Amino acid sequence: MSKTSKELLNELVAKHYEDAAQAKKDGKLVAWATSICPQELLEAMDITVVYPENHAAAIAARKHSQEFLDQSEGCGYSIDICSYARVNMGYKDIQYSEAANIPMPDMVFCCNNICTTVAKWYENLATELNIPFILIDTPFNHIYDAPAHNIEYMRNQIEHAIHQIEEICGRPYDYERLTEVMKISNETAYWWRRACFTAQAMPSPLSGFDMFNYMALVVCIRGKKEGRDLFKLWCEELEAKAAEGKGPWKEGEEEKYRVIWDGIACWANLSPTYKILKKYGINVVTSLYPDAWTILYETNDIEGMAKAYTYYHANRNVDYVAATKSQRVKDFNVDGVIFHSNRSCKLMDFTIYEQQRRITAETGVPTVVFDGDMTDPRIFSEAQYETRIQALVEMMEENKKKKAQEGK
């Protein structure tokens, strides 16, 4: 009997950590890398890649993040710093977690298209561990589309990183292997996006929190065949459900409201955030955060790769982000938007209230904001969260009544 995508997901997550540990034992190079980096460059040279953000999320989801937060804060890292960074800096010292372990790095690989914090975070890692530090510096796109000089600068950064990798590995770069990895990465991104977009169906065959769970693997094995095959299978399962008119939950559990979740999930509080939404019949049908791994470009096109990695939504201006979310409201038949005001993620949160204003003006859907954090459990209040969700339900229900009256 063939395995389901969920069964494969759990197997591949375990295998990712096991393979990384084995690679370290075998003397292979191990890199710690930021989540939305050109991992193709490392995969092509058979460097084992693990992702501290992914690892921190796994630790938080299993309720073990506080130990590592305490360690890093005790060493002087402020509570105002990204909690991914604090968990990882704590893990660097403790080097063990009951939730999941990653081998210590031989190098760090950083792309600051996600935020500016990562540059100092990874510089500190490199300094304290005395290992090579590769930084791909990505200019912020202050206008709607990335200007040509930004893309050219990014391409030069990628080419320079290739030379640095050659020096670290002590051998010429394997461009033939890079072609293969680029092809697989694009295929994985295609199936990932197609699977996520099945949520356009009504009812959605996909629960947004399943999307967050599967996201763990699109981060860490996007350039591997097993990752591509997993997301293809998942997509086929979801499309089959949609064709049968099946919703995200068990039979009899109705998808009453469809929402956008804006921002990173509260990994340390996944259960209450999910259960409270389901209690009110609310399903997350889309989010720009998981879609960040839809990185598509032509194989063998370094400039296209540069543009794709420059175009991450957090690296683009408010006009682009607000317009994209407003379009998602229309494309996914969304009833409301939930904004996670994430204490850790300043870049994604500083524009929340402006985005609220623009989305409401453009689409008329109600929005709410709740306070939380992706891996620091001390910030989230379940009572506040449910109060905000109740308010959203009231506003969405009022909107539905108005539309029904207008339709008469």
Give the pLDDT confidence of 251-261 residue by residue, as tens digits: 878 999 999 99
Neighbours of 262 (CB within 10 A): 26
Asked whether residue 255 falls in the same domain as residue 332, the answer is: yes
**Residues 179-194: what's their mean pLDDT?**
96
Residue 214 · residue 198 · CB < 8 Å:
no
- Residue 115 confidence (pLDDT): 92
Q: To which H or E segment does residue 332 belong? A: none
**Residues 263-269: what's their mean pLDDT?**
95
**Residues 228-253: what's their mean pLDDT?**
94
Does residue 389 belong to any structural domain of this protein? yes
Check whether 408 has a pLDDT greater than 80: no
Q: Considering 177, 207, 237, which residue would you say is the last residue of a domain? A: 177
Check whether 394 has a pLDDT greater than 60: yes
Does residue 184 belong to any structural domain of this protein? no
**Residues 274-299: what's their mean pLDDT?**
93
Which residues span the domain enclosing 106? 5-177
Asked whether residue 137 falls in the same domain as residue 12, the answer is: yes
Does residue 200 belong to any structural domain of this protein? no
Q: How many domains does the chain have?
A: 2
Asked whether residue 29 falls in the same domain as residue 109, the answer is: yes
Asked whether residue 147 falls in the same domain as residue 292, the answer is: no
d(C-alpha 253, C-alpha 255), whole Å: 7
Asked whether residue 251 falls in the same domain as residue 169, the answer is: no
- Cα distances from 300 to residues 141, 205, 306, in angstroms, run 24, 35, 12
Asked whether residue 68 falls in the same domain as residue 166, the answer is: yes
Q: Considering 147, 177, 207, which residue would you say is the last residue of a domain? A: 177
Q: To which H or E segment does residue 406 belong? A: helix 382-406
Neighbours of 166 (CB within 10 A): 14
**Residues 370-394: what's their mean pLDDT?**
97
Check whether 395 has a pLDDT greater than 70: yes
Asked whether residue 171 falls in the same domain as residue 252, the answer is: no
Share of the chain above pLDDT 90, in %: 90
Q: Phi-psi region for residue 137, left (φ > 0), alpha (ψ -120 to 50) or beta? A: beta
Work out whether strand 30-33 and strand 48-50 pair parallel, antiparallel, or are unpaired. parallel
Does residue 9 belong to any structural domain of this protein? yes
Asked whether residue 142 falls in the same domain as residue 251, the answer is: no
d(C-alpha 288, C-alpha 319), whole Å: 14
DSSP 227-272: HHHHHHHHHHHHHHHHHTT--SSSTT----EEEEEES---GGGHHH
Question: 1 pLDDT band (50/70/90 cuts)?
Answer: low
Note the pTM of the prediction, 2 decimals: 0.95
Q: Which residues contact 217 (CB under 8 A, 6 or more apart)?
A: 9, 12, 13, 16, 227, 230
Asked whether residue 173 falls in the same domain as residue 261, the answer is: no
Distance of CA 219 to the CA centre of its chain: 7
CATH number at residue 84: 3.40.50.11890
Does residue 348 belong to any structural domain of this protein? yes
- Residue 250 confidence (pLDDT): 87
- Residue 406 confidence (pLDDT): 79
Asked if residue 272 has a cis previous peptide bond (ω within 30° of 0), the answer is: no
Check whether 407 has a pLDDT greater than 80: no
Asked whether residue 388 falls in the same domain as residue 269, the answer is: yes
- Residue 310 confidence (pLDDT): 94
Q: Considering 177, 204, 229, which residue would you say is the last residue of a domain? A: 177
pLDDT in tens, 129-161: 999 999 999 999 999 988 999 999 999 999 999
Asked whether residue 37 falls in the same domain as residue 136, the answer is: yes
The CA radius of gyration of the chain, in Å to the nearest whole number, is 21
Asked whether residue 282 falls in the same domain as residue 385, the answer is: yes
The angle subtended at Cα 263 by Cα 262 and Cα 267, nearest 5°, is 125
Torsion angle of alpha carbons 263, 261, 187, 119, nearest 10°? 0
Question: 84 pLDDT band (50/70/90 cuts)?
Answer: very high
Q: Which residues pair with 259 in a beta bridge?
A: 284, 336
Question: 70 pLDDT band (50/70/90 cuts)?
Answer: very high
Does residue 104 belong to any structural domain of this protein? yes
Does residue 201 belong to any structural domain of this protein? no
- Residue 175 confidence (pLDDT): 97
Check whether 289 has a pLDDT greater than 90: no
CATH number at residue 384: 3.40.50.11900
**Residues 88-95: what's their mean pLDDT?**
98
Does residue 351 belong to any structural domain of this protein? yes
Check whether 268 has a pLDDT greater than 60: yes
Check whether 382 has a pLDDT greater than 70: yes
